[in-house]
Amino acid sequence: MGNLISYCDDKSDLKFRDEDNALAAKWQMSEKKVSLLRKRFNSIDREAKGFSTRGDLLSVKGLVLNPFIDRIVEIFFQKADRKEGEEKLYFSQFLETVLIFRPVKERDVNNPDKVNSRINKVRFAYRMYDLDNDGSISKDEILGVLVMMVGPHVDKEQLEEIAERAMREVDDDADNTMSFEEYAKIMERVAVEEKMSIKFLE
Ligand SMILES: [Ca+2]
Ligand SMILES: [Ca+2]
């Protein structure tokens, strides 16, 4: 994730100032930070189209080595415009996903209406595993994620066993899928607010 928002100091572009100011007000951020993120977004949009394609995001330097790159890009593009088979991710849509990683204020931790609240951070993590985007996680998806993390060279049987065990552990209602509620329950033990926050976005 860090690679997507890394600081990039091009010359400033006044063209976007009104929109950036509106976004800063909407998200209660400083205008300076929004405009830095805008510059970063513009550098991802290599041909200055005014929007990004999956290809743009997939070639972000540093991110190409991330085993989850396809998932990260997919989650960003769930917010994108789709017209005539072309997907366009605009800055405001990009920002909305990036802001999930904003450190959350104490009073907002449990506020589901805040994009960066604990539950919305957990939801992002859940979507990483939900490879077919159907809203639930199967054992095969857990296995798929394991393969992504360790690469294809590890003994598949062993990974299947791990996936099987993980599913048994979380699957309270024994329906062979991990619901969001079941996932959120195991994530209670994880310091999500810390782990899924990027200081730059404060
Ligand atoms: Ca699924
Ligand atoms: Ca279940």
Q: How far is the CA of 201 from the centre of ligand 2 (A)?
A: 34
The H or E element that residue 72 is part of is helix 69-77
CATH of segment(s) 2-101? 1.10.238.10
Please give the C-alpha separations between residue 68 and each of 48, 58, 86, 149, in angstroms, as whole numbers: 26, 11, 23, 8
The whole-model pTM stands at 0.88
Are the folds of 2-101 and 106-195 the same? yes
Instruction: Give ion ligand 1 contacts, CB < 5 A.
Output: 130, 132, 134
Q: How far is the CA of 38 from the centre of ligand 2 (A)?
A: 40
Q: How far is the CA of 162 from the centre of ligand 2 (A)?
A: 17
Residue 8 is predicted with a pLDDT of 57
What are the mean pLDDT values of the chain's consecutive 10-residue runs (202 residues total)? Answer: 64 80 96 94 94 94 84 94 92 97 95 96 96 96 92 88 96 98 96 93 90
Q: How far is the CA of 182 from the centre of ligand 1 (A)?
A: 14
Ligand whose nearest atom lies closest to the CA of 134: 1
Name the fold adopted by 106-195.
Recoverin; domain 1 (1.10.238)
Q: Tell me the domain boundaries of the chain.
A: 2-101, 106-195
